[in-house]
Structure 1
Amino acid sequence: MLKLSALELLSPARDAQTGIAAIDHGADAVYIGGPAFGARAAAGNTLDEIARLAEYAHRYDARVFLALNTLFTNEELPLARKLAFDAADAGVDVLILQDMGLLAGPLPDIELHASTQCDIRTPEKAVFLEKAGFSQMVVARELSLDEVARIRARLSPETRIEYFIHGALCVSYSGQCYMSEALVHRSANRGACAQLCRLPYDVSTEAGVPLYKKKHVLSLRDNNQTEHLEALVDAGVSSFKIEGRLKDASYVKNITAWYRNALDAIIARRPELSRSSAGRSTFTFEPSPEKSFNRGRTDYFIDGRKFDAPYDLAELETPKAAGAPVGILRAIEPKSLLLKPRDGVTLANGDGLTYRTAEGDVRGFSANRIEPAAKGLVRVYPREATERLSGLLVGATILRNRDQAFSKLMAGDTARRRIPVTLAFTVTEDALDLVVTDGTSCGAASVAMELDPPANPEKNRASLAANLGKLGDTVYEAADILIPEDLDVFVPASIANQLRRAAVEELDRERILARRGTSRKTPVAASENPYPEPILGFNANVANDAARDFYAAHGARVTAPAFEIKPVANAPLMTCRHCVRAQLKLCPKMVKAFPEILEKTDRALLRPEPLILTNSAGERFRAEFHCRRSPCEMTITKC
């Protein structure tokens, strides 16, 4: 079991090759979907591919998590259980679970982690899951530092907290979103979310007064906790998770490298902290989150809900990546655009460029060709005629959401990960010895031979150091090579190479033997671990008899099966901390800090009454605002 002070950077893996890239770029662990039953149905992998990833990860003492975190029907449960055992045989270290039905029967002896789909928001829920046998809690993305710290205070020192630090945000609490299932029969709890939150909605009062047209009021900006990593450490987080099992290798490389550097900087100045895997990565590029797909950035509710601070969590105009500003448009010509680039910005053929219209819409085009122009300008030839770029005006800020040069760079080899070792060479009476150690394990080799003096001692010593340091085809790099200053024995290159290879092979074997596999936490008796709530409805997500019996054994009665088994009329389809009223500056709690709201808004609109959201298909939803809850919440129901 890892110590709380062993920080873990956890990266997504769409497939084995992406997972290997994540490891190379500094991930301490990766999470991946198997052939079925992962909460990203489009990101499945064969067991052979998972085994390949595990073998690679384990070279660096990195771990592989299998996402087995959907809901299972009675018929699927035995198949999911078999997959759990097959995954363990393939080398998987951890199972990420949501469905408590799996706990009712045999599982492999590896760690179980409670998925974000378990909706862990309270210390009581976390303690229950810990006692049920989970070693790591993926707490809700919405939690503040204070809420995380309160959970940490209630857990044992053996149980770790995992927190999302980057990537897309679900607007609803994870595990509590039923809109996709209700409207298009694609369950978010079964890995098939249709992402209806990314659509535009008209907003009106219940009386029918229109307020906004075609705004993406439920589409949140992307999570970025770069500035809060150390505060999260202090709050009790040990595992730092990057979202994105559907993202490509370029994204995973860049974002993993970014957070690797950030966490290493914290570890370097705090000796009580360490990494949870071995090796260090070097990069051929400068990591930057702005160069990967993003919808803008937010740190969400990390500091709690602040009514005296601006609220801007949703990207109202588009769910797409608008990109980073690269320049100002100076002129529009029949076949080209004249652009003044920002300092330090270089544009390239194939770049994807975007702009905002006067109405706030985000539109884009590809740069077919870029040429220098006079007075520090560049001439951009779009792939389409400039007159077709509707809403583009001189003076507009041009943004770039596809950096072609960066994309080409990221398509190649961009990182190298090596484990530092010390090589110590010594001479005995009739043999040459070498010990190679990574600080924990070591390998040794010896060659008996006649010991002749060197013709050139200085050259002999330099040649020996060079040959011992040839570790390029291994996972190691020479941090230090120790050779006696008074070496008076000639060491042929063939002997040095033989010693190095044999010692490294033994080090490999010793590191494998020393690597401890993770084991499942022993659960306490159900009678000693009552569920925090005695009555459970559909939102407990009970999809099979074993899960129902699990909750019954823990003293909770399930009154309705999962929404996917039996839809519930008038049920809340989303439960959110995000607030449409706050986003639209109609929150009554913000008026004191922002009195200008009253200058622009009818006071009647500031009452916390429901609003109606209507999509392009004419489907209507009621957003209700529960301002007296702590923290306040919003629920969405179908009208």
Structure 2
Amino acid sequence: MPSFQTPASTQPASAIALPELLAPAGNWDCAKAAVENGADAIYFGLDRFNARMRANNFTEADLPELMAFLHRRGVKGYITLNTLIFTAELPEIEQYLRTVIAAGVDAAIVQDIGLCRLIRALSPDFPIHASTQMTVTSAAGVAFAQGLGCQLVVLARETSIKEINRIQQQLSDRAIAMPLEVFVHGALCVAYSGQCLTSEALGGRSANRGECAQACRMTYDLIADGQPVDVGDRQYLLSPQDLSGLPVLTDLIAAGVSCLKIEGRLKAPEYVANVTQVYRRALDQVAAQLAIATATPQRYVPTDDERYRLEMAFSRGLYTGWFEGIDNQALVHARFGKKRGVLLGQVKSIKPDGITLELQAPVKPGDGVVFDNGHPAAKEEGGRVYGVQRQGRTTLLTFGRRDVNLNRLNVGDYVWKTSDPELDKTVRQSYAGETPQFQQPITVEIYGAVDEPLTAIARDPQGHIAQAESAMPLVSAHSQPLTTDKLTQQFSRLGNTPFRLDALTNHVEGDVMLPVSELNRLRRSLVESLETQRSRPRIWQLAEPAQLPTLLPEPEQPPTRQPELIALVRNQAQLAAAIATEVSTFYCELENPAAYKDLVEWFRHNRRTEAQTIWVAPPRITKPLENYILEQVARSQADGYLIRNYDHLAWFRDLPCIGDFSLNVANPLTAAYFKAQYGLERLTASYDLNIDQLESLLQGSPAHWYEITLHQHMPMFHMEHCVFCAFLSDGKDFRDCGRPCETQTVTLRDRTGTEHVLQADAGCRNTLYNGVAQTGAEYAQRLITAGARQFRIEFLNESPQQVSQTLRHYQQLLSGELSGAKLWKKLQLQSKLGVTRGPMDKDQR
């Protein structure tokens, strides 16, 4: 049994509600596994518009049967529509949504802001859940989602329990009531969801479109000041351990979290069943403790069996992620990036028929193991255990002939248990067959008196109610009357149904009797009525067709102006080179926002003309208690601000603002919302768009709303994880790391030999930039023809001379003096790394 330790909250137990348990379902077997092991709800994708396109997703034709099955079992079903939507897809997704809403789906999990608008136009009451892909990290983000019509917000995985409590307090102060959901278990993305452009940058496969290539699970070499850093066997620098929120379960409940979400729509049904069952039992244990507690709720302590089961389900190591704050040493152990399981120990000796080790976990014949010598990318030895023999403090494991090549093993190799067939069998039995194995509670009330029929009323947790009356009146009982115990015995016989009797209240007057057969009929009638009611689809309001045209922006006559360049620089030397050119608008992004004030003053004393303006960029993420950074930015009194998140929208609302790429503007509905609600002067088109999709965006809304980033080092990973701290110090966070980010230049070298540039920001968050610049020069004329007039050139670590040369080349491109093909060649000669056409190239998709 689990135990409970230190108090987790000062909130009284009676005020704490148990959160919903939300499980993943990539297919029918997974859905059944979740239902039979106690999930309150499942989330699933269809064959399009979801962030797990590699899953065996359901189809539209599956929806009626799936929702009937879930609702009959008292489980909700949420559809994942958590990707960006492109302009040409809007008519199709309107029809898609009509099917979803009409099928009685309980909610849609949504990333795209334009899609939220379309859903709300189609249905005023269909629930929208703001996906973690919306990157909500603060009360301002929750308020933004509420303004879109969302009914629940999934917080970013990087949000700690302390920050959740702070957000809840700020929401309360602002009289905002919004349920909050968090991921409680499963794989952790190292980058902020919705802000990862790695797959897009390296292969034209957008994580914002469900095509993540998992570059975070690859090996990287750490290069500091031009020299390789010896990190031993820690080569998986960006691969976090898997999340397990079980040790902080009571803290999450005390923080008022409304829903706990298990990651894993690409996982097998055994994983879904196993993890769901562990968390269901743990929640029920907490509920029992809260029900009897006379003091504050106590911290949940997982059992050895619970941890074993979670590790065997799938584990790269289990850790509480960011829930307990930042510990960069613990988050990423960096030894491997794939499933391991349970650590059995290390090889002590190698025998002719096996190996010895000091066991740290149970093992038995038939279990599968793998030997880890610190090179997980290479072929590893592994196989089934044949025999287990205790030899004092050590244990001899033997293997079948030719199962394991013992000559390839070394003393000191780690031994991981990767398979437990007995556990797998037990887990599969939990959802095998057609008979419901997880039953939901119902209550029954019994009424009656002599010469009146017996009336039975049943209620389920979802609010359904069923009533049945006996076909004959009650008669006086001279012996064996219908006592509460007898009625409870008869109405609890619910073995083949989705129900179990939680409580029976007997209101029968006097000693009466009724045949057992009639009691059985009443029980069956109640069950049938409840099942029928639960199977009916939810009825949401649904508007008539042709809602989309009413949301699209009206055409506008574009201003007559020549195409112009905008330069984004990252230091004063680059800015000095840029202001000497014909460019008039400059964006500046410094690591330390406190330096903006001096830089802006320097710029105004040194700019070439009064027409040149400087805009500054706050950090991409804003957490609770980080408004002091925004104050530093505002004190610069720049000509305007680059808006990157929801806090920026609120903080700089009455000042000149331009929306950056991180707002993920991919269609006219999203663009129109930011223009109308926040008055942004321009919007940076999403980096997920190729040339055809960019043209559609420009043609589907006023083209002068947008600026296009024509040249840049793509910001691939944007992370709470600090590589500087984790691998160039022994510290946990900024308080004890010694700030190596301020003294060392760091790159991460991938398997192709490309060195990607790592930079830190004011919040100690890291961005890994593509070491190869990309250009859309060859598409500039098409974009100009489509109406685009503002083109951004972003610099990273280029020299002042490279800044001057690059801007001069692009000015020639926009004036027609230089073709895109010739500029491409000049850039290749200019940069020792060359350039790539990037995701704007339609052929990369």
**2:264 is aligned with 1:244:** yes
Does the CA-based 8 Å contact 2:165-2:255 persist in structure 1? Answer: yes
Pick from 326, 339, 344 the counterpart of residue 326 of structure 1.
Answer: 344
Does the CA-based 8 Å contact 2:447-2:508 persist in structure 1? Answer: no
Structure-2 residue corresponding to 1:85: 98
- Of stretches 27-36 and 529-538 in structure 1, the one that deviates more from structure 2 is 529-538
Q: 1:537 to 1:110 in 2, by over 3 A?
A: same
Q: Secondary structure at the match of 2:19?
A: strand
Q: Where do residues 100-179 of structure 1 align in structure 2 (5 Å cutoff)?
A: 100-105=113-118, 106-108=121-123, 109-155=125-171, 156-179=175-198
Q: 1:73 to 1:449 in 2, by over 3 A?
A: closer
Q: Which amino acid aligns with 1:107?
A: L
Q: TM-score, normalised by structure 2?
A: 0.64
Structure-2 residue corresponding to 1:633: 765
Pick from 184, 189, 199 the counterpart of residue 180 of structure 1.
Answer: 199
Structure-2 residue corresponding to 1:281: none
Structure-2 residue corresponding to 1:369: 386
Q: 1:386 to 1:259 in 2, by over 3 A?
A: closer
**2:67 is aligned with 1:67:** no
Pick from 453, 469, 483 the counterpart of residue 446 of structure 1.
Answer: 469
1:40: Cα distance to partner?
0.7
Pick from 410, 413, 419 the counterpart of residue 441 of structure 2.
Answer: 419
Structure-1 residue corresponding to 2:422: 405
Q: Which amino acid aligns with 1:326?
A: L
Structure 1 distance, partners of 2:506, 2:146, is 51
Q: Secondary structure at the match of 1:223?
A: strand
Structure-2 residue corresponding to 1:353: 369
Q: Secondary structure at the match of 1:318?
A: coil
Structure 1 distance, partners of 2:374, 2:487, is 70
Pick from 686, 689, 704 the counterpart of residue 562 of structure 1.
Answer: 686
Q: Which amino acid aligns with 1:131?
A: G
Identity of aligned residues (%): 28
Q: 1:591 to 1:302 in 2, by over 3 A?
A: closer
Q: Where do residues 203-602 of structure 1 align in structure 2 (5 Å cutoff)?
A: 203-212=222-231, 215-270=235-290, 288-305=309-326, 311-327=329-345, 329=347, 331-338=349-356, 341-342=359-360, 345-349=362-366, 351-357=367-373, 363-367=380-384, 369-370=386-387, 372=389, 377-382=395-400, 384=402, 386-387=404-405, 390-393=408-411, 396-413=413-430, 415-422=437-444, 424=446, 426-429=448-451, 431-438=453-460, 441-449=464-472, 457=480, 466-480=489-503, 491-508=514-531, 531-532=649-650, 534-554=657-677, 555-565=679-689, 569-586=712-729
1:242: Cα distance to partner?
1.2
Structure 2 distance, partners of 1:246, 1:266, is 29
Does the CA-based 8 Å contact 1:8-1:239 persist in structure 2? Answer: yes
Structure 1 distance, partners of 2:661, 2:736, is 39
Q: 1:537 to 1:46 in 2, by over 3 A?
A: same
Structure 2 distance, partners of 1:517, 1:589, is 51
Structure-1 residue corresponding to 2:28: 16
Q: Which amino acid aligns with 2:673?
A: F
Unmatched runs of 5 consecutive residues or more in structure 1: 274-284, 598-602
1:614: Cα distance to partner?
0.9
Structure 2 distance, partners of 1:76, 1:383, is 57
Does the CA-based 8 Å contact 2:388-2:395 persist in structure 1? Answer: no
Structure 2 distance, partners of 1:435, 1:546, is 49
Structure-1 residue corresponding to 2:594: none
Structure 2 distance, partners of 1:482, 1:4, is 26
Higher fraction of helix: 2
Q: Which amino acid aligns with 1:578?
A: H
Unmatched runs of 5 consecutive residues or more in structure 2: 1-14, 294-304, 432-436, 543-550, 552-646, 691-708, 772-845
Structure-2 residue corresponding to 1:26: 38
Structure 1 distance, partners of 2:18, 2:397, is 51
Q: Which amino acid aligns with 1:418?
A: Q
Q: 1:519 to 1:295 in 2, by over 3 A?
A: farther
Q: 1:459 to 1:426 in 2, by over 3 A?
A: closer
Structure-2 residue corresponding to 1:278: none
Q: Secondary structure at the match of 1:194?
A: coil
Pick from 214, 226, 231 the counterpart of residue 195 of structure 1.
Answer: 214
- Of stretches 172-181 and 497-506 in structure 1, the one that deviates more from structure 2 is 497-506
1:591: Cα distance to partner?
9.7
- Of stretches 322-331 and 222-231 in structure 1, the one that deviates more from structure 2 is 322-331
Q: Which amino acid aligns with 2:371?
A: Y
Structure 2 distance, partners of 1:236, 1:592, is 29
Structure 1 distance, partners of 2:178, 2:347, is 54
Does the CA-based 8 Å contact 2:16-2:253 persist in structure 1? Answer: no
Q: 1:385 to 1:509 in 2, by over 3 A?
A: closer
User: Deviation string for 1:576-617 (max 9, x for gaps)?
Assistant: 1101122214378869858xx9xxxxx9x7754331111111
Q: Which amino acid aligns with 1:370?
A: G
1:319: Cα distance to partner?
0.5
Q: Which amino acid aligns with 2:337?
A: P
Pick from 49, 52, 73 the counterpart of residue 65 of structure 2.
Answer: 52
1:52: Cα distance to partner?
2.7
Q: 1:592 to 1:253 in 2, by over 3 A?
A: closer
Q: 1:389 to 1:234 in 2, by over 3 A?
A: farther
Q: TM-score, normalised by structure 1?
A: 0.83
Q: Secondary structure at the match of 2:275?
A: helix
- Of stretches 29-38 and 61-70 in structure 1, the one that deviates more from structure 2 is 61-70
User: Deviation string for 1:296-318 (max 9, x for gaps)?
Assistant: 12222223336xxx722113121
